[in-house]
Amino acid sequence: MEINFVTQIWQEGKMYVAYTPELDISSCGKTFLEARKNLHEAVEIFLVETAKMNTLDEILEESGFIREKNNQKIRWQPPKIISTERERVVV
């Protein structure tokens, strides 16, 4: 199985945070690359564990992923992001 997802990475103090909004999973690391690697590990654990519970397909479909099958290989494509913008609300 292959899954594609968007990763957002930002710095908080001396740490880097990596986040995938489609799956609502995050991780962190002392460097940009470590945060990204740790996020990939967290996503892999999530996928393996939800597959064991037979809930993976349902969770991905509810998250907007589209299942594709190509040469007996299953690939999940994330929802198409139309825009990513920084917004501000003043209260």
Domain ranges for the chain? 2-77
pLDDT confidence of residue 70: 81
Residue-wise pLDDT tens digits, 71-82 = 788 889 888 888
Predicted pLDDT of residue 85:
87
| 30-42: pLDDT as tens digits | 999 999 999 999 9
pLDDT at position 13, please?
Answer: 97
Element (H, E) at 82: none
Q: Can you list the residues of the chain whose pLDDT is less than 70? A: none
2-77 placed in CATH 1.20.1070: no
Residue in this structure with the two tokens 């003043």, named with its chain if needed: 90
Please tell me the pTM assigned to this model: 0.84
Residue with tokens 């590990």: 41
- Cβ neighbours of 21 (radius 10 Å): 16
